[in-house]
Chains A and B, each alone.
Chain A
């Protein structure tokens, strides 16, 4: 099952919410160090797709393999799987009762069981990497949106995941703060992180994405490089969507 380098394999993924059939059979795979962007109109199932892959939403049917492991299997410890996948949310979801560094330290200490000192060192290095070393002892309430999101990215990276998911990371940010978050994401892509990004940021996608999955009504209608999608797409829905946003 496990090709060297295939990080994620999705086979015929379906997701239903009561009567609503959101994902109607998604099949794709993501290789190591690939940066895959997921685009599509609102309601197409992009976020649901991402959230199914770390089982924040339970898939209705289909198979998902993370690093060759079938995460739908009954004996699977989903918490272990989730430590391999870092997730960044649209609404940041930082823990308000903890400072930045405490937010970052929490999971490594509780889940990976490393020492407080090592977790703090690692956390400070990550904060430095996202440019917020001076905000280590500050509470989320006192940070701007862009700063909060960068702390959230550092928090996800602290678990040293193999894969990073981004669910519309800049959609809740004021325009002037989007740049600083995209910079961090660009650096991560450059350093070889496997990333799946749901986003509308065309500039970032054109520059950093290796592949774009275009989702409409719960199905992948196109799968290609940015060049292919933006310049040579023949698909009617793709063209319609692109015309609206460019």
Chain B
């Protein structure tokens, strides 16, 4: 067998350890691991004080238990030969046991908390309103995202023409809509525009305001994406005879796409959370639905459930963007120089 280099561990197998030291140390043996585990379990079942806030003496028993558990976990963790899988299981178990201990001994009023914040009966009552709010929020978020992407991309493309006049207007647009509070924008569109003869529904006003605000950020994201492309690419494209539009379409955009996905998705998520502001122009979106149900039922559970619904909306989006990025990685490559 080849002599292991200094980069390799000298102890590849338990038998190596045995050969090296002469015997397997007691604490490394599997028998120790399982034996001590069963002792800990017995301790937990019989020797720990019962539920409820512990007396001072009992506190000692709990602390001792924690110490033993931690030492046991530490022994396993520092063992080179134990598998990563086992160590992961041990770490998770320690966290779960810690949570269980907290649950058992803290003076939290778990029952009451459950009734208030995790009350399924209340959630059922609130359900229809919450669902309506969910779809409204989704509609607002999706429409605003589409609108902001189209406008933002166009702005970034126009900006790339480097025309002084065009740049002035674009920069003014971006500065204005980034600074403008969304609520004010929504109110202006919904309440003030009718005086100029433009009467838009609440939903459309909401989408418009969200879209305009988000488009300013999107245009900066695309602009940064364009700047990230090496100048030589554009030169080669122009030298071949492609005009600026063709260069943008065939050379710049495909390459920029991969770069802009993370910040773009971040922008969509932030914008989707801003939909909550639409309640200021009397749109029943998800958050407002949750708040109103909370008042109606005098129980905050619907609000907690709203959080779950927001997660349902966002996590697939962020996972999808991760998937997109991964797929881009396979089909696009950077030239190494």
Please tell me if A18 contacts chain B, counting CB pairs below 8 Å: no
In the bound complex, residues from chain B placing their C-beta under 8 Å from that of A159 are 240-241
In the bound complex, residues from chain A placing their C-beta under 8 Å from that of B334 are 96, 141
Closest B residue to A148 by CB, please name it.
B335
Write out, one digit per residue, whether chain B residues 304-337 have a CB within 8 A of any chain A CB (1) or not (0): 0000000000000000000000000001111111
Closest A residue to B332 by CB, please name it.
A97
Known contacts A95-B251, A96-B333; is-contact A82 B235 (Cβ 8 Å): no
Question: CB within 8 Å of A: which of B242-289?
Answer: 242-243, 246, 250-251, 254-255
Please tell me if B196 contacts chain A, counting CB pairs below 8 Å: no
Q: Decide if A85 touches B239 in the complex (CB within 8 Å).
A: yes
Please tell me if A54 contacts chain B, counting CB pairs below 8 Å: yes
Known contacts A110-B250, A111-B242, A159-B241; is-contact A93 B236 (Cβ 8 Å): yes
Q: Decide if B333 touches A139 in the complex (CB within 8 Å).
A: yes
In the bound complex, residues from chain A placing their C-beta under 8 Å from that of B242 are 79, 106-107, 110-111
Please tell me if A27 contacts chain B, counting CB pairs below 8 Å: no
Write out, one digit per residue, whether chain B residues 192-211 have a CB within 8 A of any chain A CB (1) or not (0): 00000000000000000000
Write out, one digit per residue, whether chain B residues 221-245 have a CB within 8 A of any chain A CB (1) or not (0): 0000000001011011111111100
Closest B residue to A87 by CB, please name it.
B239
* Choice from B238, B243, B337 contacting A56 with Cβ under 8 Å: B238
Q: How far is the CB of B259 from chain A (nearest CB, A)?
A: 12
Closest B residue to A85 by CB, please name it.
B239
Please tell me if A89 contacts chain B, counting CB pairs below 8 Å: yes
Q: Decide if A106 touches B337 in the complex (CB within 8 Å).
A: no
Task: Given contact pairs A54-B239, A96-B332, enumerate 9 new A-B contacts (beta carbons under 8 Å).
Answer: A79-B243, A82-B240, A89-B235, A93-B233, A95-B250, A96-B335, A97-B254, A97-B332, A106-B250
19 contacts between A and B (CB under 8 A): A56-B235, A56-B238, A79-B238, A79-B241, A79-B242, A82-B241, A83-B241, A86-B240, A89-B232, A89-B239, A93-B232, A95-B236, A96-B255, A96-B334, A97-B333, A110-B242, A111-B241, A140-B333, A156-B239
Please tell me if A91 contacts chain B, counting CB pairs below 8 Å: yes
In the bound complex, residues from chain A placing their C-beta under 8 Å from that of B243 are 79
In the bound complex, residues from chain B placing their C-beta under 8 Å from that of A91 are 232, 337
Closest B residue to A145 by CB, please name it.
B337
A148–B333 Cα distance when bound, in Å, is 14
Interface size for B (C-beta < 8 A) is: 24
Write out, one digit per residue, whether chain A residues 89-103 have a CB within 8 A of any chain B CB (1) or not (0): 101111111000000
Please tell me if A172 contacts chain B, counting CB pairs below 8 Å: yes
Q: How far is the CB of B192 from chain A (nearest CB, A)?
A: 46
8 nearest A-B pairs in the assembled complex, by CB-CB distance: A141-B333, A93-B236, A83-B241, A107-B240, A93-B232, A87-B239, A82-B241, A97-B332
- A: residues with CB less than 8 A from B are 54, 56, 79-80, 82-83, 85-87, 89, 91-97, 106-107, 110-111, 139-142, 148, 152, 155-156, 159, 172
Known contacts A96-B335, A141-B333; is-contact A111 B240 (Cβ 8 Å): yes
In the bound complex, residues from chain A placing their C-beta under 8 Å from that of B232 are 89, 91, 93
Q: Decide if A107 touches B241 in the complex (CB within 8 Å).
A: yes
**Chain A CB within 10 Å — which of B232, B255, B333, B335 has the most?**
B335
Closest B residue to A80 by CB, please name it.
B241
In the bound complex, residues from chain B placing their C-beta under 8 Å from that of A79 are 238, 241-243
A90–B217 Cα distance when bound, in Å, is 36
Closest A residue to B239 by CB, please name it.
A87
Closest A residue to B243 by CB, please name it.
A79
A148–B336 Cα distance when bound, in Å, is 11
* Choice from A82, A92, A140, A141 contacting B239 with Cβ under 8 Å: A82
Q: Decide if B255 touches A97 in the complex (CB within 8 Å).
A: yes
Q: How far is the CB of A19 from chain B (nearest CB, A)?
A: 22
In the bound complex, residues from chain B placing their C-beta under 8 Å from that of A110 are 242, 246, 250
Q: How far is the CB of A141 from chain B (nearest CB, A)?
A: 4
In the bound complex, residues from chain B placing their C-beta under 8 Å from that of A85 are 239
In the bound complex, residues from chain A placing their C-beta under 8 Å from that of B238 are 56, 79, 82
Q: Decide if A155 touches B240 in the complex (CB within 8 Å).
A: yes
A85–B233 Cα distance when bound, in Å, is 17
In the bound complex, residues from chain A placing their C-beta under 8 Å from that of B240 are 82-83, 86, 106-107, 111, 155-156, 159
Q: Decide if A94 touches B335 in the complex (CB within 8 Å).
A: yes
Q: How far is the CB of A17 from chain B (nearest CB, A)?
A: 15
Q: Decide if A89 touches B236 in the complex (CB within 8 Å).
A: yes
In the bound complex, residues from chain A placing their C-beta under 8 Å from that of B255 are 95-97
Closest B residue to A102 by CB, please name it.
B250
Q: How far is the CB of B241 from chain A (nearest CB, A)?
A: 4
In the bound complex, residues from chain B placing their C-beta under 8 Å from that of A93 are 230, 232-233, 235-236
